């Protein structure tokens, strides 16, 4: 699963812009599709909602503008999980906040260079693949999980974090909604916690396509190989409490709880805010940030 052959819908009312973007992405082996206005884009999306992995969406267009298309995408049962990259010349703080609050996970301002575009697209595809993998098995048997009252877990790797996210999501009322938020915080405890990958370092690694390789390398190093993330689960009435604690030095978590326009153009850094806004009922970091408590609605089996 490397993201090759991912299907990308490029939407722009300027044919020249479409050609430039296609040229920038031409060497990545993606399946590229285009639409010259929002109406055409929505027709393609609605007709085949499982076709596309990423939408690169111009904000200002005739007929349906980008924000209207984005609203339709996020209201659609299937399409809502597609990462949307808003590309626009409107880069004021208010415009950026509006786009991010409406569900645009990524933002690009015109003109942008090929490296920035490739980095953002690559990250969006990886996020979509991760979401698809996480949700693929959620509908498998959950019989008996309604009786779970408490549990303790330990893990080291990102793969283990994703596996655990699926288990924890399945004891929650809306598994497909909460699984990405839980996964985001479990992965954060590995990469930024135990492995001490700092924000600017991750930006560089993603741009270079070296992030996954660096994570695997650090897991083998003596100073990191024995570090674990510990997770406790407790059912409290109608809610589940999940506590995640890593062995790192913590981080300045306050600045990541809300969507920040200053990070809108970065290839990462908005996962915690999106989890808080769209996925989880409550997120409370404690102390230096190496411990976080999540509250979500519990799953109960139907009484017969």
pLDDT tens, residue by residue, 227-275: 999 999 999 989 999 999 999 999 989 888 887 777 766 778 778 887 8
73 contacts 80 by C-beta, under 8 angstroms: yes
Residue 104: left if φ>0, alpha if ψ -120 to 50, beta else—which one? beta
Sign for the CA dihedral angle at 203, 204, 210, 216 comes to negative
Domains and CATH numbers, the chain: 7-135 (3.40.50.2300), 143-297 (3.30.565.10)
Largest CA distance in the chain: 61
Q: Assign 3-class secondary structure to 153-187.
A: EEECCHHHHHHHHHHHHCCECCHHHHHHHHHHHHH
pLDDT in tens, 100-156: 778 787 888 777 778 888 888 988 898 888 888 887 766 554 555 667 889 999 999
Q: Is the pLDDT of residue 91 over 70?
A: no
pTM score of the predicted model? 0.76
State how far the Cα of 201 lies from the Cα of 149, in Å rounded to an integer: 39
Separation CA 235–CA 150 (nearest Å): 6
Using a 10 angstrom Cβ sphere, with 0-12 exposed, 13-18 middle and 19 or more buried, the burial of residue 75 is: exposed
Structure tokens given for 302? 């139907």
Average pLDDT, the chain: 87
pLDDT score at 304: 40
What average pLDDT does the segment 76-99 reach? 81
The angle that helices 114-136 and 175-188 make with each other, rounded to 10 degrees, is: 120
pLDDT tens for 160-194 read 999 999 899 988 988 888 998 999 999 999 999 99
Tell which residue, 55, 19, 53, 57, has the closest CA to residue 37: 57
């Amino acid at each position: 699963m490397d993201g090759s052959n991912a299907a990308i819908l490029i939407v722009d009312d300027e044919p020249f812009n479409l050609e430039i973007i296609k040229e920038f992405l031409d060497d990545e082996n993606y399946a590229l599709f285009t639409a010259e206005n929002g109406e055409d884009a929505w027709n393609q999306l609605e007709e085949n909602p499982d076709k596309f992995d990423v939408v690169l969406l111009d904000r200002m267009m005739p007929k349906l503008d980008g924000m209207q298309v984005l609203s339709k995408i996020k209201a659609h049962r299937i399409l809502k999980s597609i990462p949307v990259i808003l590309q626009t010349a409107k880069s004021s703080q208010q415009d950026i906040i509006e786009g991010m609050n409406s569900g645009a996970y990524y933002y690009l301002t015109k003109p942008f260079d090929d490296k920035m575009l490739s980095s953002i697209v690559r990250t969006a595809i990886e996020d979509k693949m991760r979401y698809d993998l996480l949700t693929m098995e959620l509908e498998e048997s959950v019989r008996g999980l309604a009786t779970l009252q408490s549990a303790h877990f330990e893990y080291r790797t990102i793969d283990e974090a994703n596996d655990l996210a699926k288990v924890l999501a399945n004891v929650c009322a809306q598994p497909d909604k909460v699984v990405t938020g839980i996964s985001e915080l479990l992965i954060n405890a590995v990469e930024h916690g135990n492995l001490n990958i700092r924000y600017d370092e991750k930006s560089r690694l993603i741009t270079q396509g070296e992030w996954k390789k660096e994570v695997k390398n650090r897991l083998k190093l003596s100073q990191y190989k024995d570090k674990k993330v510990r997770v406790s689960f407790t059912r409290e009435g109608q809610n589940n409490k999940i506590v995640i604690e890593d062995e790192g030095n913590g981080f300045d978590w306050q600045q990541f709880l809300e969507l920040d326009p200053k990070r809108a153009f970065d290839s990462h850094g908005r996962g915690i805010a999106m989890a808080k806004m769209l996925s989880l009922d409550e997120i409370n970091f404690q102390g230096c940030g190496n411990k976080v408590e999540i509250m979500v609605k519990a799953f109960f089996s139907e009484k017969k």
